[in-house]
A and B are shown apart, each in its own frame.
Chain A
Amino acid sequence: MRSLLAALSLLISGAALAQDATPQPPLPSPAASEPREAVEPSATTPQERPPPRANAPSVPEASPSIDERLTADEHRVEALEEQNTETKNDLSALKKLRISGYIQARYQYQEPLDEITGAGGFSRFTIRRSRLKATYTTDLAQAMIQIDASPTGVALRDAEATLFIPGTKQQLSLTVGQMKWPFGYEGPQSSSDREFPERTRVTRNLLPSERDRGAKVNGRYKFLRLAVGMFDGAGIDSGTTQDNDKEKDLIGHVGFDLKWIAGGVSGWYGHALGKLPTDTFRRAYDRSRVGVDLQTYFDLLPVGGTSLKGEFLAGRTYGAANNATHLDVPAHGWYLLLVQNIGLNDAVGFRYDSFDPHNGQPDDGTLELPGADNTVDTVGFVVQHHFGENLKMTASYELPITHVIAQAQDPHDNLFTLQMQARF
């Protein structure tokens, strides 16, 4: 550092010498024997200048010594360090704030119109998700808000206030607000991380909108994971901004994470108010779920990592509108997802999922149309390419297979999706 300062000092003195060559305003001519300091003009107290001594020794005019220059430069550096410290103090608060988000823009093509129903078939561009998320984290608390802006409007997705329980090193926390249900794997997983553009049919039906208003405790201990909370239960797509009943749903997930294998079991117990045709008045019906999830990660092939994920969900009473379109109806489904990375930027995946909208109800069909509650299995293929760290392109092709009987036919509803996701 000192050698650097010395070099800097020499440069500065060189510059000073160069400046000496330029014409200067006339100054009082000092006596040849007078020290330089004595001739510096003083605007304030020129009369205080000491008179030249008659017998003053003759001293050649000299620049400040190396030590003086170093000292001056060190003071300059210290001043800069001080300014830097102040700036860093100001910035330290901003470092706790993280702004992130992502945009999923798509082109989708579905098979041409069905000859029988006239439904389905499109070729369109959409903005599926356009998220903006702000998170402010301190040692004791976290505030998070996430909005989704789309052509249909701006909607609040998450608004969480979290307390990290003191003394637990953020291993135990309490969150109140609007947040994802702690249930299963695919439901809470970020849409920006998923390989396929959309969640499976069973998750979309049993966990519509994936989130709700409530309070949740989140805890970790070594490889164990626990998340359990009390929620309104109807979900944010229920069409109301306030809970319309006094019933609360208890939802939780107990899991483990051993790095190469992770998983857990989930449970949900609550009620939904509703009235079936056989009811005179509204009554509380069970709204329950159970789930099992497992994710495994291997290094099988030299080209990249392989993961195999699966989940089974079953529940009663579901549907987006009031989460009770299918009041008191039992349903179940499952999926298997296999993903193979190829190098650092590419991946291919295969997914098979099955959803039975009404357990125990046999498949049916009329006028060559399958019944609305027939089981649907979906075969999906996906390829992904990462253009750097911020941009991901996904192409998927999904082939839903609706169970049919007799003369009913599987609808033409194969879907191709090309999605560009940019995140920051």
Chain B
Amino acid sequence: MKKTLLGSLVAFGLTVLPLTAQAGTVTVKGSDTMVILAQRWAEAFMKKNPATKLQVTGGGSGTGLAALQNGTTDIAMSSREMKEAEEEKLRQRYNTPPTSVSVAKDGVTFYVNESNPVQALTLEQLKDIYLGDTTSWKAVGGPDAPIVLYSRENSSGTYAFVKEKVLDGDDYASNAQTLPGTAAVANAVAKEKNGIGYGGAAYAKGIKELKVKKDNDAFAPTAENVKSGKYPLSRDLFFYLRNKPSGETKAFIDFALSPEGQAIVSQVGYFPVK
């Protein structure tokens, strides 16, 4: 056993191991559903802590979680739970179990145009519509008109949520138009009288929200129904981190979970977790 090359190894280590200086900026990236919420939090937080800079950008839950793996964001916003493969990649890369924090609740809402007489649909009817098996509003109590489908891009957590909870994992109908952002979906439905789309409750202004039928009752995505779990499409909105939060990142998350932060959740249109 010789130790002649240990010196070179140490030299290499000293060369390539510059301790990364932690910048004074906290970056938050991911779910488009959560962007508006995180921006409000960031504005309020920076007013109280002017020395801390927060950068909030969207791109979809998948994009945020990928950024977390690549080390290009401190916090990933996600409107779905992290997949096992994503979690495993994080552990392999950073040798630490990722941390998830549920910061708000949301009811995924299906929108139709205000002129559409349909008020409520069952999960089964929604599934048939988005699989392309039901193509006319007439089949679900509406006018004799073709259904125009709007969806989100597949990097969206909402896309994945609807795919899992409504479509039981099946593929969306190929004629579903994918739009970049929930606001775009809501806008498209507002313009298209035969349209249907989905997104977070916060973006549902100006268009009609469908109730979802369950056990002969129809439930609207209200705070009460989402928190009680009666609304069948309620979900958690998460912050994901590589490891346990510390420093400015922890201060921001603590603020989001504080009474003030949770009040912002309600103002934006989502539902508090505390």
Contacts and interface: CB of A to CB of B under 8 A. Distances in A.
Interface of A: 1, 81, 85, 88-89, 92, 95, 109, 111, 138-139, 167, 169-170, 193, 220, 257, 259-260, 297-299, 302-307, 339-348, 379, 381, 383, 385-386, 388-389, 393, 395-397, 399-401, 410, 412, 414, 416, 418
B5 A169 contact: no
Closest CB pairs A-B (n = 4): A305-B96, A343-B20, A307-B95, A385-B16
Contacts of A139: 169-171
A344 B243 CA distance: 11
Nearest to B164: A169
B174 A89 contact: yes
13 contacts: A1-B187, A81-B177, A111-B4, A304-B94, A344-B242, A346-B19, A348-B17, A383-B9, A389-B70, A389-B72, A397-B9, A416-B8, A416-B9
Interface residues of B, number: 44
Contact of A383 (B12, B92, B168, B174): B12
A300 to B, nearest CB: 10
A297 B97 contact: yes
A299 B98 CA distance: 10
A97 to B, nearest CB: 13
Interface string B1-40: 1111110110011001111100000000000000000000
B84 interface: yes
B244 interface: yes
Contact of B95 (A92, A138, A341, A343): A341
B1 A414 contact: yes
Given A95-B154, A169-B169, A297-B91, A348 B13 contact: yes
A303 B95 contact: no
Interface string B84-105: 1001000111111110000000
Contacts of A88: 177-178
Contacts of A302: 246
Given A193-B92, A298-B96, A346 B16 contact: yes
Nearest to A111: B2
B2 A414 contact: yes
Contacts of B171: 138-139
